[in-house]
Amino acid sequence: MLLSWAAKLGWKPTYVDLDIGQGSITIPGCISATPIEKPIDIVDGIPLEMPLAYFYGHPNPSINPDVYKALMRELAQTLETQFSGNAESRAAGMVINTMGWVEGLGYELLLNAIDIFKANVVLVLGQEKLWKMLKDAVQSKPNIDVVKLHKSEGVVLRNSKYRQKTRSFRIKEYFYGIANDLAPHSNVVNFSDVSVFRIGSGHQAPRSALPIGAEPVADPTRLVAVNISTDMVHTVLAVSYAKEPDEIISSNVAGFIHVTDVDIQRKKLTYIAPCPGDLPSRLLIASSLTWYEQA
């Protein structure tokens, strides 16, 4: 609503989506941004002509919060660079959608987002406790206003089953379109033609679980090569714009593929992609996102 109002008044704000659990710009598992140049169509949703997406690869930030923070910083820095050369976009500002998780780690990441993106207005919808906590947290920063908004009557919370179903729909929509009006293309590549990586090594133990004074030994943002196996069937992989593996965490992604078959004997991987032709990069990012076409 805020974005459409701004567009109607002639502004071109940037929409930033940090909700990796749902994904309103690309598929779930991403933090992303896109310019809004016209009011958002209620059916077609947010325009996707020029999305800027960084792939976290999981629907929950607790799997690797350090990577989530690192990707927020990368996105913020990229947007800052773009704004420095575009006075119109800088003046229009950003509207940032955060996650619905606002307790514990979720609250910590919310504060990180406010700091990283230099937010100066924080809107809290119908959560008195969160509004008070944020007011206290930013009281030493006079340039930040925390505004409480009342939730409309009849609004209900989305349960985990509904959110999971929505995630599946968003992935299907990426490949087949909102009205099943797109036709993804099936392709086959040799194992040797692609390299698959994972950022980090999975769940990280919280510092509170470590002995006093101890620091985590593993680097949560370390790049790990992944062997292609049948475990990848039904998973979603991101295609990185990185030129070299060590650039993956700092690079945005070109798009996504869905693995439909892995032939170990012939060393071939079959996948569907939104368009035909070769992949724009041989560097792929693994994820915990799965999707079954009949879903």
The domains of the chain are located at 2-149, 160-285
Mean pLDDT for the chain?
A: 89
Report residue 125 as tokens. 């919808």
In CATH terms, the fold of domain 160-285 is Elongation Factor Tu (Ef-tu); domain 3 (2.40.30)
Alpha helices in the chain (DSSP H): 2-8, 65-84, 87-92, 105-116, 128-137, 160-176
Pick the CATH number of 2-149 from 1.10.1060.10, 1.10.630.10, 3.40.50.970, 3.40.50.300: 3.40.50.300
Spatial contact of 28 and 170, defined as CB atoms under 8 Å apart: yes
| Calculated CA dihedral for residues 20, 68, 30, 50, nearest 10 degrees | 130
The angle, 0 to 180 degrees and rounded to 10, between the axes of the packed helices 65-84 and 105-116 is: 20
**How far apart, in Å, are the Cα atoms of 228 and each of 130, 206, 257, 277, 289?**
44, 30, 14, 21, 16
What pLDDT is stored for residue 208 in this prediction? 57
Which parts of the chain sit beneath pLDDT 50? 295
The percentage of residues in the chain with a pLDDT greater than 70, rounded to a whole number, is: 90
Q: How far apart are CA 54 and CA 70, in angstroms?
A: 10
**pLDDT at position 221, please?**
85
**Distance between CA 198 and CA 222 in Å, rounded?**
8
Cross-strand partners of 253: 240
Q: In this predicted structure, what is the pLDDT of residue 263?
A: 98
Closest CA to 95 of 196, 19, 204, 176: 19
